[in-house]
A and B are shown apart, each in its own frame.
Chain A
Amino acid sequence: MTVRRRFLNWNRPALVSAADYLFETYAADSTLALDRLIVAVPGSRAGRRLLEILVQQSAERSLALSPPRIVTLGNLPEQLYASAGHFVGPLASQLTWTEALREVGAARLKRVIPELPPADDPSRWLALANLFGQLHAELAGHALRFIDVAECGQELEDFIERDRWLAMAAVQEAYVARLQAAGLADRQWARLQALERGACGTENEIVLVGVADPSRILHHMLEQVQDRLTVLVHAPASLASRFDELGALQVAAWQAAAIELDDEQIVVVEGPADQAEAAVQALASLQGKYSAEDIVVGAPDSRVVPYLEQRFEQFELPCRYADGLPAGRSGPFRLLSAAADYLDGGRFADLASLARHPDLEGWLLAALPREIASGADRLSELDRYYSEHLQAKLTGRWLGGRHAVQGVEALQAAVDRLLGEFDGKRTLAHWADRVARLLVEVYGREPLDRRHASGRIALEACKLLRETLMEAASLPDGFSAEWRAADAIRLFLRQQENEAIPPLPQHAAIEMLGWLELPLDDAPALIVTGFNEGLTPSHVNSDLFLPGGLRRRLGLNDNDRRYARDAYALSVLAASRERLTLIAGRRTAESDPLSPSRLLFACDRPTIARRTLHYFGGGKTPVERKVPRSLSGGRAQSALPIPQPKPLAKPIESMRVTEFRDYLACRYRYYLGHVLKLGCLDDAAEELGPEAFGSLAHEVLRDFGLDSDASRLTDAEAIRKRLDAALDRAAQKHYGKDRLPAVNVQIEQLRLRLGAFASWQASWAAQGWRILFAEAPIDERRASLLVDDRPMYLRARIDRVDMHDATGAIVIFDYKTSDSSRPPDKIHRKKGVWVDLQLPLYRHLAAALQIERPPQLGYIALPKSLSDVGHYLAEWSEEELAAADEAAAKVIRGIRNQEFWPPTSPPPAFSEPFLAICQDSQFGGLLADEEDRP
């Protein structure tokens, strides 16, 4: 007996017709007994839908349904032969390929891989293993071994790669042999062997539905069970010649086939956003005739999906993309991957990442001691600790005060406890167990609710991981190599990270499906986006292993075959849908050019010319835009004003002398910074910033200045020694041993500057100057400026006051550690106008230090150019200083009057922190002429 081939009316959906066929053939009395039937469909979605139809219709006809076994094509072969032994899992398979690669030896392998990865780089070997695994699967699907390629290829005129394929064949043999030794079977190989032994058979009846393009191996296997086979071909009988006896496509016939489409069904637009817009437009043109579940949107190009989702959400169109979330993006995967990174080097940055995982944070809240969990948030503490101490790693050598450290310490302790069992090298089985426990610890504190997004995602992700972990836990004896935990975790994650976690099933949603699912779908309205060349149909010309020519020779899935498959699919869609719209783009989001699909040109020649002009011509008639392009703004002018200052609760009664310049630069930003005390906090620093660098220098110089003998030294070398020691102390105190490497270099740079300072200091002291005060703090109400008869108290930390032994002259100095050195006047006045008042104001602080004579004012600069290290005195006249006081008085009045508006525009230098609040970025790069400060 030969195959029964039945043609289904393609003006109706395939599955509906197929169900009809089953009812006609198998319904009896009150039953529809299909339990002896294997129904094979191309994909699992079609299988589910067929079952739905069967259930629905048997209920309607009051038939008791014994459902058939519904399998996808991928699983059909296993129904056709009896396999012996266990199939190897993906993990073991990958590991076996790796072993096989190494086994054949470098000499042979180099014919395939001229540059072998280093032996100790498991990830690159695994990547190669994957490459082989994929090739193995593809070729075996066509009933080919690597050795066959080496042999067949020779019939090609320009086949020059026999040696390469022979080497690969050796790897493949080694792979199979290793599996066998481990008591495992490779699925592809088992099929191949069953086929070759002629061992395919079944006791069941087999019905193929819409299987137009079975793999070659399946085709051959089906030939061996012909008498049990019924093939339902979704095409009119008049097209019988385009199918072979098993219902598979005759490639040549489909290549020449014309596809009936109206020009109105085709929309060609620019980018992906336009495609989404066209899709919305197409939906609108259905005019409410179809409900959401009667509409499907095809998305051969998954890159268009986000645009579709976004647009649909905008118009409140419910939609559901079954390929939803790749597992790699789910919480559990992200958690493990961040954990692996942290395990890898214990870097601070990786801890900071991990600590930001919301699921981990949830766990932490429960795991931390109550008093710490309820205190300030951990992230800020981490940021603060990092900014202050610039640690590359946290090794338990804590810096700074106990109190500040507590939270960070507890956090790290908790994380380390969680990851505590992950050191050393152990077997994969061991790590699988640890990973499972970790997941349970973090996610299993409470039952997961599968009806809620977060619960469902975590659950599905854990289930995916469980598959891998289970395989790892029960790997046969041959796989006992030891791994580092981080590598093992990454290996586990890689197995399933591209699997999709489908969204919650949703009643009444527009489904978005991939191209392959469309032919067997039965929604009456269909909109296909991404209808572009390279996707529908896809093509392979050049290739690492199987370029087009070789594919053609081997009868592999070549371009002609891909075209035929999609030509058939499109013909089915055109025939079976009530409404069909095809949308193609002309470029990707990254501006790569795209062409509309060749399938749109499977028509008569005049139509080809017309469509060409239309799709490729620049002079397209612009379609009138009905769909609003974007979010519609609610107003004619944005109502996002810069927040106005609010009246102060308490008047400002004291100021730091350094604040004046900020007020002079911008009163609003002064308000933000000094009144509201707003500031950035992050952990982005790669090295000491200007302020930290300055503080470190100041601290060293203060230590030096406080030491009264030191300040009298006139021997540069001796001074340098003291400074060196002070620098080492300060660096150790603030930055410890685990500081960022850049900091080390910076400290050395500072040492050089201090060295130059030592020389200056020696000669300065030799001139008879000695240090009177170092870092003299003046706060509380010790000094003030009287303005309008009211005091404004001044606060400051004066870096240094020197006195001349002989003359009793006094100089007040400020240390400057910025890269460049500029004399005080350059910094304090611009074009004669006071922009900074720090030094002049020091005069008013002198009294608080019991200095009676009018002091001189100046800088001691330690700039990058060592020859410029030294003192720079200000030479302002009394009138000039009086003008400075007047300027200060103005500032004080302004502050008393709460004049904090408007912001200076364009923004002054150093206002980046407030860029967003002050809406400065419309100036783009206008924040120019920056000067080095402080």
Chain B
Amino acid sequence: MSPLRFNHVMIRASAGTGKTFQLSNRYLGLVSQGAAVDQILASTFTRKAAGEILDRVLVRLAEAAVSDQTCRALADYIRDSSLSRPRALELLEGLVQNLHRLRISTLDSFFSQIAASLSLELGLPPGWRIVEPSADDRLRTEAIHAVLAESDSKTTLALMHLLTKGEATRSVSDQIRDLVNSLYGLYLETTAKAWQALPRAKGLSGQELEAALQQLASAPPPADKRCVTARDKDLERAQQQDWDSFIAAGISAKVAAGETSYYKKELDPQLLDAYRKLLQHAKAMLVARLADQTEATWQLLEKFDAHYQRLKLARRALRFDDVTRKLSGAAFAGQIEQLSYRLDSRLSHLLLDEFQDTSLLQWNVIRPFADEVFGGAPGRSSFFCVGDVKQAIYGWRGGVAELFDVLGDTWSALQHQALSCSYRSSPAVIETVNKAFENLAGSPVLDNFSQAVQAWAQGFALHSTARSNLPGYARMHVAPRAGDGEKQETITLKFAAEEVARLAREAPDCSVGALVRDNQAVARLIFELRQRGIQASEEGGNPLTDSPAVTVVLSLLTLADHPGDTVARFHVSQSPLGPIVGLDDHADATAAGRVSLSVRRHLLNHGYGPTIYRWARELAQSCDGRDARRLMQLVELAYRYEDDATLRTRDFVHFVESQKVEDPTTAQVRVMTIHQSKGLEFDIVVLPQLDVRLSGQPPAVVVGRPKPTQPVNFVCRYANKELQALLPREVQQIFERQSGQAIRESLCVLYVALSRAAHALHMIIAPSSSSEKNLPATFAGLLRSTLGDGRKAEPGETLYEHGEQDWHVHHSGKAPEAVDKELRTASATASNSASGAQSPPAFKVALAPSLQRRTRGLDRQSPSGLEGGETVDLAYLMRLDAAGALERGTVFHAWFEQIEWLDDGAPAEATLNDAALRLGASQAQAARWLKEFREMLARPATRACLMQSDYARQAPWSAAGALAAGWDAAELSYEVHRERRFAVRDGDAILTGSLDRLVLIHREGRLAAAEVLDFKTDAVKADQQVQLEAAVARYRPQLAAYRRAVAQMTGLPMEHVFARLLFVEPGLVASV
């Protein structure tokens, strides 16, 4: 292979500039130059994106294979002038025939593959699997219970106290759960040391404190009543050790701020000194409390971790993060050899998408591969990554955009490229984006965060667009003001809903994306849109409980678990399901108990899917299209749930509540959070929730790292501003860095939001509050300063506008990507049909009528399986002592099989012995049983059956009077079959098996009768008539089947076929 023409490259690609395109170029380039596909890893973050990359790669090649022009273009992009159509075809063939070796996947799935092939080395339990979040939640709950159960309540209490800052909160489990959910990930990434890193200050000793208090009490305050009162209050606070208040208010607060006077009265030096001492002590105490809280947090997490890990191992249940963490901890450097061996390929080319979202742990796993690539022979391996630090909105999930910068420092061979020409947006949108971000640094809103903002602004290069003819429009619009008792946020959303509805109507062929910050706003907006006749779909979807039809089913399931739940009873009994399941009065406890049992019985015997489907079908009669669709999705969930089903129906209810299911129709209008919109585009984007703070919520803890790409080495519970002021400078800096980080991430979110639009961008903000003095530090405030002129936002005003408002008139309707025909027809029908009963055209699948007599798939029946008839006595079936008996029985059957007739003597000892050993009997067993066998053969009834000379005399056919009357023994001859296999049609079944002994009786050379003799080794006693009768009764169906079989095989009429049981132990014969 000649060296590849590809360098190591890192691309910073702004929104809409074609990341996937670049990545697929690279991929195809590698392939065209002969790189083996299993040596190329192309990874991304979502499964959807992974699917898209694969599609892109294959389709572009296929297009090149069929069109000269496309082929030339592709040749250019991948810088391979030799690419011709036939060559493209050849490459394509190579790819599709190696689909199983392609490594185009999410990082998670690549990591899982590694972990699966190294699971023992990683200490993963054999048979581990990735579980659903809801299953993981159950494990967490269990672990929390275990934490509580294990430690005595005093210890837990002490910890809880520290965590809740001395408050006596009622709920314990919830507290711990919140803590775990928000901090467990961090715990796993850190050592105990990081949680102990907050330096503690030295406080006063007991005596010193006493003295300082004395001093404060005795030093003369300024002669002003207010000063005296203030001093007294301060003293009281100090005596009560209420240090929070001590530093926050009164004279002490002033002194803390460096002042020496109060109400313009200079403070006595003695007094000042006392204050200073006490302040120092207060500070030490408060910092110590913070440190204790932080440590307590760690301790609790540590306890949790021990139980949680144990449970995970036992259940073999992992999450993707666990896998990443395990791998990250395993440090592969130096083990690439082994890894490649197990993976069955050595990675030579890395193509990493959305690089800004890579977490440190993930990077730890990839890094050794990257080292290999960079260390490899030039031209034999390559590194490629693409991403956009401006879209780094997954910091909360561990994404570390700074990795981008580190790469360049680590590997000098890495070339940098930047893409800022959009293939998505209209000039109006692009120019708005530019305007919003180019002057960030000048915005008064961001004054306090200048460092963070500067860093961000530096990464922003002015965008251009390749679609300069695309019509478009951008506007910032102020919503009406909320009235008394109304929430402004709600009013803004309502106004936005109006706007969305209007835009959707005006441009019916355009897709509209309404992007918000949180799920509550998604729900609200969907609701408001529905009120306005717009069926919007939700990215990611909502739990199915948004359909009243679904909740009826869930109530029934709740009732199954809790028949005493009268709410569920009422709900079911008043619904169309009530009469179906037999519950029409919610007060009827007996009926409820009955329904509960019957529901659970059904679920157990038929499964969740079919059971719920039955109800859904009935309920659908009362449903409109949407509710019926939701019901259908419930049924699908139910089918999917089967593997995890428990005895508790409430587990299924929780499962349904936790699953977000998208409404299957893709509507013109889609509502989602900005995070969910990443990677998507819309013709029109509406942003109605811009009045949220840029700094976000205060975090639970603040973390520090020596460098952004290094592990956390400092953790501290969040402290408020007053408390922060007491902390050492370097700790304060960590707090500041973290808030800077939050601001940067907010800017990313805003950037993503603005850059989703192809044509039009509508920003909707709340009016300024009457008390507004400065621009608020919100998204809206920022946009008002960069896009607008910073003036107050009055209701109804347009603060910014760019492009043509009626752009869509000029826009020749491009086919909307996602307009749901079904939905439209459905709503059309709905409005047309007055009665409301809409009958969809019946779709029927016709099958040819089945044959009366089936030919295929007949049931298989062995006569021995018919023991007992159609019902089975379980007690008999479950006799375990039968195990030994079975073996013994097998040997005796084999021995009887050796006998044609006994007249010439019994079979040779050696033959019998061999047969027994072949069947697995021990020598000792064989010897013992042989003795018994001899005894059996001596029993008169047995002999009579097996002696040809005696046979006719007592055989049932001869005793059967009419048949044998007039037969002469001399005319008869016998044909003996042993272990004769048979297979005959018996009704709708095939009867098959083998006959222990079949005697065919020929009379004058013609078959006249047949007899089946079945040997039984049951331990029946000769004198136990009842026992014998029971056994005979049990075997009767079996022997009847034998008779039917023989009749068919031989063509004899049934009356000429006979059967007898020979109980060989007691030597009893019974005709049946």
Contacts and interface: CB of A to CB of B under 8 A. Distances in A.
Interface in A73-115: 82-86, 112-115
Contact of B160 (A601, A745, A865, A914): A745
B65 interface: yes
A85 B345 CA distance: 45
A379 B90 contact: no
B368 interface: no
13 contacts: A86-B920, A449-B870, A533-B100, A544-B118, A598-B99, A605-B90, A631-B631, A640-B548, A640-B622, A680-B562, A746-B172, A864-B169, A926-B523
A549 B844 CA distance: 51
Contacts, number: 573
Nearest to B127: A127
Given A310-B609, A610-B66, A616-B55, 5 more contacts: A314-B613, A636-B830, A682-B558, A682-B650, A831-B484
Nearest to A123: B314
Contact of A376 (B89, B160, B316, B589): B589
Interface residues of B, number: 200
A617 B52 CA distance: 10
A329 B642 contact: yes
A407 to B, nearest CB: 12
Interface string B320-345: 00000000000000000110111111
Interface in B152-174: 153-154, 156-157, 160, 164, 166-173
A65 B983 contact: yes
Contacts of B586: 676, 678
A430 to B, nearest CB: 11
Interface in A505-527: 505, 507-509, 511, 522-523
B657 to A, nearest CB: 9
B992 interface: yes
Interface string B57-98: 011011101100000000000000000000001101100110
B164 A864 contact: yes
A635 B647 contact: no
B875 A925 contact: no
Interface centre among A453, A612, A923 (most CB of B within 10 A): A612
Listed from nearest, the 7 A-B pairs whose CB atoms lie closest are A924-B523, A380-B564, A593-B51, A306-B639, A444-B874, A633-B628, A630-B632
Contacts of A627: 843
A283 B843 CA distance: 12
B230 interface: no
B251 to A, nearest CB: 21
B59 A616 contact: yes
Contacts of B31: none
Given A444-B878, A598-B96, A307 B850 contact: no
Contact of B565 (A309, A626, A682): A682
B822 A625 contact: yes
A293 B647 contact: no
Interface residues of A, number: 208
Interface stretch (B265-273, B507-515, B596-604, B781-789): B596-604
B984 A124 contact: no
A362 B464 CA distance: 74
A897 interface: no
A334 B647 contact: yes
A433 interface: yes
Contacts of A448: 871-872, 874
A405 interface: no
Interface in A884-934: 913-917, 919, 921-926, 928
Contact of A748 (B109, B154, B596): B154
A636 to B, nearest CB: 4
Interface stretch (A687-695, A784-792, A806-814, A844-852): A687-695
A601 B881 contact: no
A688 B168 CA distance: 14
B856 A453 contact: no
B606 interface: yes
Interface in A309-345: 309-310, 313-315, 317, 320, 325, 329, 331, 334, 338
A165 B829 CA distance: 70
Given A112-B120, A507-B988, A635-B836, A749 B871 contact: no
Contacts of A631: 616-617, 620, 623, 628-629, 631-632, 635
Contacts of B160: 745, 749
Given A377-B593, A690-B170, A306 B609 contact: yes
B527 interface: yes
B1019 interface: no
Contact of A443 (B575, B607, B874): B874
B177 to A, nearest CB: 9
Given A64-B1050, A595-B54, A745-B157, A51 B918 contact: no
Nearest to B632: A630
B166 A866 contact: yes
Interface in B97-121: 97, 99-101, 109, 113-114, 116-121
A306 B642 contact: yes
B877 interface: yes
B874 A462 contact: yes
B48 interface: yes
B678 to A, nearest CB: 16
Contacts of B574: 643, 917
A406 interface: no
A469 B845 CA distance: 46
Contacts of B527: 922-924, 926
A587 interface: yes
B850 A292 contact: yes
Interface stretch (A207-215, A353-361, A834-842): A353-361
A658 interface: no
Contacts of A916: 545, 548, 551-552, 554-555, 567-568, 571
A288 B848 CA distance: 5
Nearest to A293: B856
Interface stretch (A52-60, A229-237, A239-247, A874-882): A52-60
A370 interface: no
A356 B170 contact: no
A589 B485 CA distance: 45
A867 B530 CA distance: 48
A126 to B, nearest CB: 9
Nearest to A465: B878
Interface string A268-305: 00000100000010011011111111110000000000
A55 B606 contact: no
Contacts of B558: 682
A124 B120 CA distance: 12
B857 interface: yes
Contacts of A606: 89
B909 interface: no
B680 interface: no
B148 A745 contact: yes
Contacts of B125: 124, 127
A634 B552 CA distance: 17
B469 interface: no
B548 A919 contact: yes
B898 to A, nearest CB: 16
